[in-house]
Amino acid sequence: MNTLAGSFALLKNPAIMSFMLKGVLFTVVLAVVAVSASLGVASVLALVRNYCTKPAERLLRWAATAYIELFRNTPLLFWIFIGTVFFPAPHLGRLFGLSSVETKLLFKCTIALTIFESAIIAEIIRGGLNAISKGQFEAGYAQGFNMVQVMCGTSSCPRLSGRSFPP
């Protein structure tokens, strides 16, 4: 029997397949929860970094910039290590068929991945906001929209009463 056939023969063992599927479930749950949480945090960070320009808001902008630069420019493995060693985890019991220790590890890794991903996603969102031409904002202001209405567009602001942006 060659090495490749011997390796695939291990997959016929139900205990090994169960262990591997548990790892896949752990990874999928971790990814879905971390990306979902990161999108909300990243949106706020990107908006603060882009649009807090008044003197009273500069501290918020500085804090968002420091957060983004710190977490974006350090390795993910570092934050996973810091998270698993130093972050406290609540007692959540058994979730998704995982033991309580694995659930705590899932929580800690989710927090570590969220703080890292939110910094990267914030820069992606900020790049998208910066790609919008100044004329699009001026068109919205010319139609009487405020900053919030211009940022969310016609589909998500119910107060726009059917008005839309020019192309």
Q: Residue 165: is its pLDDT beyond 70?
A: no
**Which residue type is seen at 113?**
L
Q: Smallest Cα–Cα separation from 104: which of 85, 121, 123?
A: 85
Q: Residue 121: is its pLDDT beyond 50?
A: yes
pLDDT confidence band for 163 (50 / 70 / 90): low
pLDDT at residue 34, as a whole number: 93
Q: Residue 158: is its pLDDT beyond 70?
A: no
